[in-house]
Chains A and B, each alone.
Chain A
Amino acid sequence: MEQTKQRSFPRIEFTDSEAGALEFPSSKSRSYNYYKPAKLRATMYEDVTVDVQPDPERHLTQGWIYGFGDGPGGYPKEWTAAKSSNWHAFLDPNEEWNQTIYRNNSAVVRQVDLGLQNAKRARAYDAWNPAWLKFVERNLGAWMHAENGLALHVFTSIQRSGPTNMINTAVAVNAAHKMRFAQDLALFNLDLAEAEVEFDGSAHKEVWQSAPEWQPTREVVERLTAVGDWCELLFATNIVFEQLVGSLFRTELVMQIAARNGDYLTPTIVGTGEHDYDRDLAYTRNLFRLLTRDEQHGETNKVLFGEWLTTWVPRCLAAAQALQPIWSQPADKSVTFADSLDAAKQKFRSLLEDLGLDIPKELDK
C-alpha cells in the first residue's frame, strides 16, 4: 500500500501579544511620533504618507547614498527655482492614498460604464445630429491626446522630482486621473466608431496632428513636456493651461452645449474629467498658496510665478484663440466663444487673486 506523506503544519500557540496585555514603558505609545499632524489627531493620509520619502533636513542622517553623474541624488530642492521654508507643510487636501485612489476612480469607471451601456441600449447616438457627431469626432478626439500627453509626460514626470512624498503622491494621483480620463475618451470614441452612425474613429489623429485650430494647443502641450523645472511644469499646467485651455474647452464649451445637441452622454464622461480637475486644482492651489504666502520666500516666489505667467499665458491664450472656430461647428451654438473665453479668464483671474499674484495684462486684451 502506498504510504501517504504525513502532513506537517505549524502549531498555533497562544502568546497573549495583544495591545494592553501588559503595562511597560511605551506600551501605550500608539501613534506615529516623528511628525506633527496638521490637526490634533493624525489622519490616515498623514500616517501613510508623511516622511516615507526621507529628507536630510529632517531625520535622514547619512544623506542620500546614491548620486547622479552630474549632481546629488534623492530629491534636491534645487530641482525647482521656487523656494519654501518648509516644503513638508504641504498636505494634499484630497488626502489621497491607496483606498481613496481606487474607490474614487472605480466609482468613475462604473459611472462611465453605465452611461455607455445605457446609451447603447437606448440607441442614443442615433439622435445626434451630423454636426454634433463631427464635433465629437474631431474635437473631443483631439482633446484626448492632450489629456494623455499630460498624464504621461507632465504629471508622471513631476512626481519623481518634488521634495516631499506629499507633493509627489498628490501629483501621481493627478497622473492617474489624466490617464483614466484620456482612455475613457478614447474608448468612448471606439464605441461611437462601432455604432451605426457616421463617425470616423480615426479622424482624431489627423485633427490633433494637423488641424490648424488644434496646433497651438498641441504646441503648448509639447512645450510643457519640455520643461525641466517640476514646479514650473505644475504651475504652467494646472494653473495656466488647464484654466485657459482645458476648462475653456471642457467647462465652457462641451459641458454647456452637448445636451442642447441631443447628447447627454458626453457631459457625463467629460464631467468626470471636470471632477478630477477640481480635486487636482485643490491640491495645486494649496501648494502655490503655501509658496506665495511663505514668510521667507513668498515675495521672490511671486516674482518667479509672474515670470512663469509671462511665458505661459500668451502661449495658452494663443491656443485658446485658435480654438475659436470650433464654437461654430455644432448645430446648436448656444454659447459664443467670447462668452466662454470671458468666463474662463474670469475664473483664472480669481484663482490668481487667491494665490496673491498679479493679473497678467494679456488677459485684458
Chain B
Amino acid sequence: MSRQSLTKAHAKITELSWEPTFATPATRFGTDYTFEKAPKKDPLKQIMRSYFPMEEEKDNRVYGAMDGAIRGNMFRQVQQRWLEWQKLFLSIIPFPEISAARAMPMAIDAVPNPEIHNGLAVQMIDEVRHSTIQMNLKKLYMNNYIDPAGFDMTEKAFANNYAGTIGRQFGEGFITGDAITAANIYLTVVAETAFTNTLFVAMPDEAAANGDYLLPTVFHSVQSDESRHISNGYSILLMALADERNRPLLERDLRYAWWNNHCVVDAAIGTFIEYGTKDRRKDRESYAEMWRRWIYDDYYRSYLLPLEKYGLTIPHDLVEEAWKRIVDKGYVHEVARFFATGWPVNYWRIDAMTDKDFEWFEDKYPGWYSKYGKWWENYNRLAYPGRNKPIAFEDVGYQYPHRCWTCMVPALIHEDMVTEKVDGQWRTYCSETCYWTDAVAFRGEYDGRPTPNMGRLTGFREWETLHHGKDLADIVSDLGYVRDDGKTLIGQPHLDLDDPKKMWTLDDVRGNTFNSPNVLLNEMTDAEREAHIAAYKANGTKAVA
C-alpha cells in the first residue's frame, strides 16, 4: 500500500469512532491523571489490512529459522552456561508480554483519543504474538537441548520461585493500579522504550555469541513491533503533559518506573549477559558498556532529556545512581552471586567462573577479583556433594541478604539498605527510592492530593517467609525442583551431567534449615535489630574471605 493510500485509509478508519450518547464505556480501571485539556496526538499509523500480512511474513522468517536450527544441529554448539539461564529468562518473559496485552484496555479506558485506541488494540495482538512465540521457543529448547529439566516445569517454577517473583512484578506492574502509571509510564514509556533495548537487543546479541541464534531470531522479531508501542506511549505522554495537574504524577511515576525497571531488568539481564556467556573477548562490550549505549545514550539522552522542554523534571539523579550501582557498586555481580548462592532452589544450573572469566571481569570492572574472585573460587570448590554443604550453608564470608520489600531483589549493596517500620512491620529496602515507592508513592495520597487509583504493594513479598524454618530438602521437594528419578535436584552448581556422583540429591541437601531474614528481623528487640542492621550495612560490598 502506498504512503498516500495508507494515510487516506487511516483517515477513513478514524471515521469508525463516534461520540456515545446513550452510555459511555465503563471505567473499570481508574486513573488520577486527567485528559480534559489534552490535544489529540496521533500514534504510528497501522491498519489491520497491512498489519496481518506483515506479521505473518515476520513469523514465517522466525519459523523458517527454527526449522533451520534443528536441521543444522544448532545444539551441538550451544553453550550450556548460556542456555541454562534461559530456563529462568524464558519462564519469566511470556508473562510480562501477555500482561502488556491485558494492559491495553486500561490505557484505552483512561485516554479519550480514538486514534490511540486503534494503536493500543493492535499492540494487544502484538503482545499475544510475543508471549506465545516465546513459549514456543522455550518448547523448542526443551525438546532439543541436552538438559530439559527446568524447561519442563517452566510456568510452575516461574510462579513459585524467588527469582520468578522478581520478574513477575515487571508484568504485574503493567496491569495493576493507576491505569496511566501502569499501562503507560511503567510499561511503555520506561519498560518498552528503555529496557527492551537490553532485553531484546543486547541479550540476543550475547546469545548468538554463545551458539544460540534462535533467541536473536525470535527476540529481534519481537523488538521490531516495539517502535509502534513506543509511539503509543509517547502520544499518551504528550497528552498527559498538556495538563499541569498531571505533572506531579508524571514525575512520581517516572521515578518509580525508572528505578523499578533498573532494579529488576538490570539485575536479571545483567546477570544473563555477564555470567551466562563464554565469550570473553576483551573487545566484547560488558553489560555496563551496553547499558551506556542502549539506556544512557539511546534512552536517557535522546528520549528523556528532551522532555525537559515541556517543563518536566527528569530523574537525573536516579539515572546517575543506576549507572553508579552498575559500574561502581557491583550491582550485577552481587545479583549473580546471590543467584548462585541460592542454586539449590533454582530450576537452572549455574556454571562456575574460571580464570578466563576472572581475567575478563577484572579487565572490564577493575577490582572485581578482590571483591568476588574468592567467592567464585569457593563456589567452584564446593560444587560437588559429599564433603560439603551447599555454599549458602558453608562459611565463605557471605551473609544471606535481606530482601527489598519493593523490588524484591535483595538489598545487595549493604551500605545502601534502608530499614523502616511500614504498615506495622519492619521492612528492608535496597535503596531510598524503593523505600519511597512503598511508603510514599504507592499510597492513596501523594503530595497532599488524593490518589485513590494508585496501586498497592501486596502479597507475600518476601519469598523466604513462606519457607521459614524448613529443611532445605523439604523446600526443594515442595517447590517440585526435583528430577524424574525423584531425588536429583534440577538446580546444580556446575554443568557436569556425565557423572551421577556429581549431581546433588535431596539427601545431600537435607539437614540445612532455611530461615527468613525478615521474620528474624521482626523477632529481634530494638537493640538487637539496630546492632544487626549496623553490622549488615558495615559489611558493604567489601571483599569476602
Contact = CB atoms under 8 A, between A and B. Distances in A.
B311 interface: no
A4 interface: no
Nearest to A215: B22
Contacts of A50: 155
Interface in A214-245: 218-219, 222-223, 225-228
Interface stretch (B172-180, B244-252, B519-527, B530-538): B172-180
A165 B175 CA distance: 14
Contacts of B444: 69
Contact of B146 (A19, A69, A228): A19
B109 interface: yes
A31 B131 CA distance: 18
B168 interface: yes
Nearest to B127: A172
From A72, A156, A223, A225, name the one whose CB has the most chain B CB atoms within 10 angstroms.
A156
A101 B454 CA distance: 35
Contacts of A35: 155
Interface stretch (A6-14, A253-261, A302-310, A356-364): A6-14
Nearest to A161: B28
Interface string B1-38: 00000001100110111111111111011100000000
B75 A19 contact: yes
A98 interface: yes
B172 to A, nearest CB: 5
Contacts of A73: 172, 175-177, 455-456, 458
A53 interface: yes
A157 B117 CA distance: 11
Contacts of B355: none
B490 A226 contact: no
Contacts of B49: 109, 112-113, 180, 183-184, 187
Interface string B68-94: 000001011111100100000000001
Contacts of B101: 159, 168, 172
A112 B175 CA distance: 36
Given A98-B128, A102-B55, A103-B56, A32 B152 contact: yes
B147 A27 contact: yes
Interface stretch (B230-238, B394-402, B460-468): B460-468
Contacts of A48: 131-132, 135-136, 139
A209 interface: yes
Contacts of B94: 52
A21 B284 CA distance: 31
Interface in B54-68: 55-56, 59, 63
Contacts of B19: 209
A32 B155 contact: yes
Contacts of B18: 145, 149, 205, 208-209, 218
Interface string A26-43: 111111111100000000
A52 B15 CA distance: 36
A60 B160 contact: yes
Contacts of A151: 121
Contacts of A183: 13, 16, 47-49
Contacts of A18: 73, 75-76, 144-146
Contacts of A228: 26, 28
Interface stretch (B320-328, B337-345, B360-368, B495-503): B495-503
Contact of A160 (B8, B114, B122, B175): B175
A39 to B, nearest CB: 17
B517 interface: no
A2 interface: no
B159 interface: yes
A24 B16 contact: no
Contacts of A209: 18-19
Contact of B484 (A29, A144, A176, A204): A29
Contact of B129 (A70, A101, A148, A182): A101
Contacts of B55: 102
A16 interface: yes
Contacts of A225: 20, 23-26
B154 interface: yes
A222 B75 contact: no
A12 to B, nearest CB: 6
B25 A62 contact: no
A271 interface: no
Contacts of B459: 62-66
A159 B78 contact: no
Contacts of B56: 102-103, 106
13 contacts: A8-B283, A10-B208, A15-B211, A18-B76, A25-B483, A27-B147, A29-B149, A48-B136, A63-B460, A65-B458, A68-B456, A152-B121, A222-B21
**For the complex of A and B, 8 pairs with smallest distance between CB atoms:** A25-B483, A34-B156, A48-B135, A26-B149, A73-B176, A59-B159, A63-B459, A66-B176
Given A157-B25, A172-B124, A218-B22, 16 more contacts: A16-B146, A17-B145, A18-B76, A20-B146, A30-B148, A32-B142, A49-B132, A53-B98, A59-B160, A67-B456, A98-B129, A152-B118, A159-B124, A183-B47, A184-B49, A187-B47
